[in-house]
């Protein structure tokens, strides 16, 4: 299976500020779409200065706003239109895809473990599978070797929280991703197709 990180660049691992950030993304997206400039940096500034995300501290507001904007910025304006019009469950799935695009580590886990186990009819997914995946990647990514154990546990917990919020993991079992034909088509336009991030047998399981 082709890796997103075939050049073995260092993994970005700064994804522990929140989980899917769907609520935050909804707020940021409204600001973005109301702006003539369509400037994500301006959106981030307004999120922080106006405390749109209702964070308790300035540092927390800045961190979550930056993370939210970085994930939304992986989408084209056409994809953002789809995100804004999607159902709540589809918005969660699209924010999972955003995390997969933004972070190669999450994207490869989604493709090589989550979807692969679903396709092989072995839907049980627990921390052991995550640890095995991370250990295998550590052969090519020394930044994983040097992680503190507490940091590794936080990364693992965040990924599993994302999967749960996206409706892709319930009771330790991988769930089929349910997307409309429109959302499927938007994701499938990418090269390679972003359907690879979702546990589904394309294209039969797209909902008309």
pLDDT digits over 47-69, tens only? 999 999 998 899 999 999 999 99
**Residues 66-83: tens digit of each pLDDT:** 999 999 999 999 999 999
* CA distances for 110 relative to 81, 136, 150, 160, 191, angstroms: 24, 15, 22, 11, 16
Q: Quick check: 2 and 192 in contact, CB under 8 A?
A: yes
pTM of the full structure: 0.92
Question: How many Å apart are CA 5 and CA 88, to the nearest integer?
Answer: 31
Question: How many Å apart are CA 130 and CA 114, to the nearest integer?
Answer: 10
pLDDT at residue 208 greater than cutoff 50: no
Q: Bridge partners of 124?
A: 173
- What's the pLDDT band for 206 if we cut at 50, 70, 90? low
**Residues 106-136: tens digit of each pLDDT:** 999 999 999 999 999 999 999 999 999 999 9
**What pLDDT does residue 141 have?**
95
- What's the pLDDT band for 196 if we cut at 50, 70, 90? very high
pLDDT at residue 186 greater than cutoff 60: yes
**Residues 2-13: tens digit of each pLDDT:** 334 444 689 999
Q: Which residue has the tokens 């522990």?
A: 16
**What pLDDT does residue 17 have?**
83
Q: Quick check: 92 and 165 in contact, CB under 8 A?
A: yes
Peptide bond into 203 cis (omega under 30): yes
**What pLDDT does residue 203 have?**
62
**What pLDDT does residue 159 have?**
98
The per-residue b/e assignment along 132-163, b for 16 or more CB within 10 angstroms, e otherwise, is: ebbeebeeebeebeeeeeeeeeebbebbbebb
């Amino acid at each position: 299976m082709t890796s997103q990180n075939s050049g073995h660049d260092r993994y970005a691992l700064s994804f522990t500020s929140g989980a899917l950030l769907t609520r935050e993304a909804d707020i940021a997206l409204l600001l973005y779409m109301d702006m003539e400039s369509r400037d994500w940096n301006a959106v981030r500034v307004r999120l922080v200065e106006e405390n749109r995300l209702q964070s308790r501290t300035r540092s927390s507001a800045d961190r979550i706003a930056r993370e939210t904007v970085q994930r939304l910025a992986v989408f084209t304006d056409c994809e953002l239109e789809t995100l804004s019009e999607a159902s709540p469950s589809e918005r969660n799935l699209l924010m999972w895809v955003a995390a997969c695009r933004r972070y190669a580590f999450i994207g490869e886990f989604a493709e090589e473990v989550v979807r692969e186990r679903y396709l092989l009819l072995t839907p049980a997914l627990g921390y052991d599978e995550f640890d095995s995946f991370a250990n295998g990647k550590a052969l090519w990514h020394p930044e994983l070797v040097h992680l503190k154990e507490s940091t590794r546990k936080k990364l693992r917990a965040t990924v599993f929280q994302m999967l749960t919020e996206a409706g892709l993991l319930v009771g330790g079992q991988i769930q089929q991703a349910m997307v409309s034909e429109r959302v499927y088509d938007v994701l499938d336009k990418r090269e390679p197709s972003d359907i690879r991030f979702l546990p589904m047998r394309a294209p039969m399981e797209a909902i008309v």
